[in-house]
Structure 1
Amino acid sequence: MRQRKRILFVINPISGGKKKTAFNKQVLEVLDLEKFDPTFKITDHPNHAFELGKEAIVEGYDAVVAVGGDGTINELGSAILGTGMPLGIIPEGSGNGLALYLGIPLNESAAIRRINRFESVEVDTGAINGRYFFNIAGLGFDASVSDHFAAENVRGPIGYLRSVVNVISKFNPSRYKLIIDGKTYEKEAFMISVANSPQYGNNAYIAPQASITDGVLDVCVVHQFPLYLLPKMIFHLFTKSADQSEYVEIIPGKEITIIRDDNGPVHVDGEPVDMGGRLDITIKPRSLKVIC
């Protein structure tokens, strides 16, 4: 009898505001147990998924699966980066940006069936001041929203929308110096997103032409716009036409430095992180295997 592949499912119990009490049972019903031997662990503190990923390498697992949102994916992916161990995704977050881009179903059973195929693709990884990201990192408005959302007691899209409303009325643009592949730009911006994949999540596309396998990051500079144009800006996001807005400028690059006057939050795959005034950003091509 052939040896079954050992898979560790790392479950974030609060991601997306969804209960996951029946998840283990679902896996045992849908996963091909002749091929795979599943183990389940639940995160209970920040960075726990990263710790469990490191343990999975030592313990000889054949794959790890993030059961959560982009933050859980980020922690697990960062832990196994460069090891050749594949990362599976069961999308259970508020936005699920990376899963949507990769075509991983939002339905639990369908996502588990993808793992049965055990097919993977090698994707690029971004790094910002040494912190890895797989989807999008950003500063300015969206980082302030992520910071506010992290303190929200309501998860999911409703909580995120509440954070947007609370932040946008009092947010002011900042000045930035950008050095992208040796060329210098001076910009005043409402926000800057550095996109590895095209969308934040929920099919909101900030960088419609971005690809997670092209070895390039898309620097999306969103300039200040009149508040009455917010519905139009949102329309651009959800129709994959942000790059057609006069207020959006997209510059591709591999070696990126952003210099700002103040320290403050930067979101890394949606999770707020305090960083300094200088942000050094690079890309590691085809550095993570993702089951899809």
Structure 2
Amino acid sequence: SCMLSGIGFDAKVAHDFSSKAMRGLLTYTTQSLINFFKAQPYQFEITIEDFSFFTDAFFISIANSNQFGNNFTIAPQASLNDGLLDIVVVQKMNKAKLPFAILKQIRGNNKLEELVEEVTKKNILYFQTSSLKIKNLKHAPFHIDGEPQETSDEFQIDIIKDCFDLIQP
């Protein structure tokens, strides 16, 4: 069970942050800025049902919840109980535009779309699915809930409905 996993830039930041003695938002922000200037897109092949496409992307976020650390939102429509994963693909673009494109995403200005060929040309893709396969062609780093994980050449990610019961007072 996880709230958010990511492949690429955000995972690289998580890996670098985990090796630092000092924790906190300042250290995380510093690592993000350092990595931003060095960041290069990674190559992926993404498959959803019968639709596949190749992309050069800075990162891919797979969200089951709409918030993570410090109340940060990358997938504003994500819900723990809708049986769907919210996928955000931040594709290769001019780095000067990147912060503004991400800001537009976290503010909820990018709407969910059905994944079709025309949509794959946008800077940021935002769609939902219950299952996807990602081929990690350049061995991009990976994280689960901000914790660095060993990466893989291929990820198969599925929602398993009704498998987790949460008891709350």
The amino acid across from 1:162 in the alignment is: T
Report what 2:19 is aligned to: 151
The amino acid across from 2:14 in the alignment is: S
Quick check: 2:101–2:124 contact (8 Å CA) kept in 1?
A: no
Three-state SS of the structure 2 residue aligned to 1:146 is helix
Aligned-pair identity (%): 30
Report what 2:150 is aligned to: 274
Report what 1:209 is aligned to: 77
Tell whether 2:61 aligns with 1:193: yes
**Alpha-carbon deviation of 1:143?**
0.7
Report what 1:141 is aligned to: 9
In 2 relative to 1, CA 243–200 (structure 1 residues): closer, same or farther, beyond 3 Å?
A: farther
Unmatched segments (≥5 aa) in structure 2: 113-121
1-structure distance, mates of 2:56, 2:140: 16
Quick check: 2:76–2:106 contact (8 Å CA) kept in 1?
A: no
Report what 2:29 is aligned to: 161
Quick check: 1:138–1:193 contact (8 Å CA) kept in 2?
A: yes
TM-score of the two chains, using structure 1 as the length reference: 0.50
The list of structure 1 runs, each at least 4 consecutive aligned residues, that deviate by more than 6 angstroms after superposition, is none
Bigger Rg, structure 1 or 2: 1
Q: Answer 1 or 2: which has greater strand percent.
A: 1
The amino acid across from 1:140 in the alignment is: G
Report what 1:109 is aligned to: none
**Alpha-carbon deviation of 1:141?**
0.6
TM-score of the two chains, using structure 2 as the length reference: 0.83
2-structure distance, mates of 1:196, 1:235: 20
Report what 2:117 is aligned to: none
**Alpha-carbon deviation of 1:217?**
0.6
Q: Looking at both structures, which has the greater relative contact order when contacts are Cα pairs under 8 Å and sequence separation is at least 6?
A: 2
Report what 2:116 is aligned to: none
Three-state SS of the structure 1 residue aligned to 2:38 is coil
Q: Answer 1 or 2: which has greater helix percent.
A: 1
Unmatched segments (≥5 aa) in structure 1: 1-132
Deviations 1:193-231 (A, max 9, x none): 111112333232211111110111112111123332344
Tell whether 2:129 aligns with 1:253: yes
In 2 relative to 1, CA 234–276 (structure 1 residues): closer, same or farther, beyond 3 Å?
A: closer
